[in-house]
Structure 1
Amino acid sequence: MKQSRRNAGVALVLAGLVTGCPEPEPYNGGTYVYDGYGTIERDPDCKLTGPLELTLGEGDGTSFTPLAPGQEPVLYHGPQGGTHLILGVSVANPAAGFPGMQIKFEAERLRCFSDGECTAADPIGSDEMLVSRPDRFLPGEGGSVNVSGFLVVVWNWNLGERRRLQVEAMDPCGRTGTASVELGLPASAP
C-alpha cells in the first residue's frame, strides 16, 4: 500500500514537471522589444535647439497609441507573477539625419492631500534605454517618429491610488523633452 502511494506521488510530480506550472489568470504578457542600455553621445554637427515635443503612449514596437489624459495603460501580468506596462513615445520634432535617442520611463505613486496638492512621489517602476537601431523609429503623422515596445516593470500598481507615468528623452543634438500623464482617483476623492 505504501509503495502504491509512493508510485502515485512520483507519477503526479513527473506529470507536473512534464506539463509545467499552470499560468496564472489573467496572463497577458504582451509584446516588447529589447534595446541596450547606455548614454547617447552628443553629435557636434547637429545644430538643432529647443525642447523635444513628446507624447506618452503604448505600443508593441510596431505600433503606437497615445494615452489620453487620465487613461490607464494596459497592465500586463507576467508568467512569474510580476506586472508590467509596455510603453512608447512619439516625438513630434525628431532630429532627422541624427539617429538615436535615450529614453527613460518612470512610474510613481503620488502622495496627495485632500486639497489636491501632491507633495511627494514614490517610485513604483522605471526603465531607461538607448535606442539606436533605425528600424525602431516608426514614421508617424506630420513628420513625427514613434518608438514603442518598452517593457516597464511596475510594483504596487493600485488603481485606487494617484499615479504618474512620465517619459524623458534626449536626442544626439542634446535636446530633451518630457511628457507625463496622471492616473487614478483625484486627490479630493474620499
Structure 2
Amino acid sequence: MTSLYGYVGVPEMGAGFRQGLSSGLELEAKAKLDYFRLAGIFEVGARREVVTRETAALAPTLSLGLVLNSGTSYLDEENFGGVLLRVSPGLVSGWRAGETVVLMGLVDAPIDIGLSPTGAWRIQTLVGGGPEIYLGQGVTLLVSGQIGLEHFKEERQDWNTRLGYQIKLGIGSRMF
C-alpha cells in the first residue's frame, strides 16, 4: 500500500508518505510543525504488523528524526530552543468496529535529545486513540486524541513534568 496523509491538530500539524513493502513492513517519512513551540520536526520510520486478525491488528513503530526548535515562548512558556535528535517508539492497534470504521489505539513516546552539551531533553508518553472512517475511493478520515506526561530538562535546569496531549484531525489517501 502507498498512502499520502495530512492532519491539523493541537499542538501540531503535519503531512506524511507511507510505502508498504511485500514483507509486511511499512516505511514512512513525515514532516510536522509544532506551532506552540515553532518547531519543525522531520522523521523517517518503520511499522510492521505483528498481530493480524480478521477484526484486529497490532503494529509497533519506530522513527528517527530531527527537531529544529526556535525556542519561542509565546504559546509555551517553558519551551527551549535548539536542535534535538528524536527517537520515537510507538504502537498502533486497530479494531474493526464496522464495515467503514476502525477504532484506533495509539501509544507514542517521542524522546528528544539535545545535540549540544547543555543537557536539554524532552520525553513524552502519550496514549489514546479514536475512529478512522473510510469515506470511499481510498480516502479515510481520522479523529484522535492522546494524553499523557511530558518530562523535559531545559539547558542547565532541573527536570520538569507537565501534562502532554495531542489532538488530530487527519485525512489520508491510498494511492495504490
Higher helix share: 1
Considering fraction of residues, name the structure with more strand: 2
Q: Which has more radius of gyration?
A: 1
Q: Which has the higher contact order (CA 8 A, sep 6+)?
A: 1
- TM-score calculated relative to the size of structure 2: 0.31
TM-score of the superposed pair, with normalisation by structure 1: 0.29
